[in-house]
Amino acid sequence: MALREFTAPELPRVNSNAARLVPILTTTIAALVAILPLQIPGYAALTPALALMAVYHWTLYRPDLLPSYALFGIGLGEDLLTGSLVGVGALTLLVTRAVVLRSRRHFVGRSFPAVWAGFTLVGGGMMLGLWALHCLLESSLINPRNTIFRMVLTIAVFPAASFLLGSTQRVLIDGPRLMRRR
């Protein structure tokens, strides 16, 4: 009986092929929106980590629909399009998925502030970890100001992103299943 309390609920089956693609497509769109070339000075530092938010959301609520190979491809594409070190984006998304999968049972079925606190820990930890990795690879201490600003912005934008992703999930994935029950 006590074991049941600590395990995450079983996920309902998704029969629609289009619904199976929703997490991959929304994560890809989030990655592309974050790297849009806008003519704003310092735009890269002002962009929240949208793909990280999508990975957190989908891994928390529908990990079965966001496979690791898709995250690897999205991260690799993001690295190639931004000109950053190839593999760092893929590593970030895959480590985020692994961390969320490991702690998923603590957040599923909890209130939004608990989910947001979880994202704060995971997202903040990933962004600080990326900063440390870049410092290590460049063999110098990089000013953390941009990283901290981007981390705070990402955490602040998460509720809106979570609302949009949750609405998409309810309409496109859960909605058809709920409509058939009526």
Within a domain: residue 6? no
For the chain, what is the domain count? 1
At residue 24, the pLDDT reads 92
Within a domain: residue 87? yes
Question: What domain range includes position 39?
Answer: 18-177
At residue 142, the pLDDT reads 86
Q: What is the mean pLDDT of residues 66-93?
A: 92
Tokens in use for 64? 């079965």
Tokens in use for 113? 């502030």
CATH number at residue 143: 1.10.1760
Within a domain: residue 40? yes
**pLDDT above 70 as % of the chain:** 82
Looking from the CA of 106 toward its CB, the CA atoms found within 13 Å total: 13
Q: Nearest CA to 52 among 107, 102, 93?
A: 93
The reported pTM is 0.85
Within a domain: residue 155? yes
Amino acid (1-letter code) at residue 12 = P
Within a domain: residue 53? yes
- Here the contacts of 4-10 (C-beta below 8 Å, separation 24 or greater) are 6/105, 7/105, 8/104, 8/105, 8/108, 9/108, 9/109
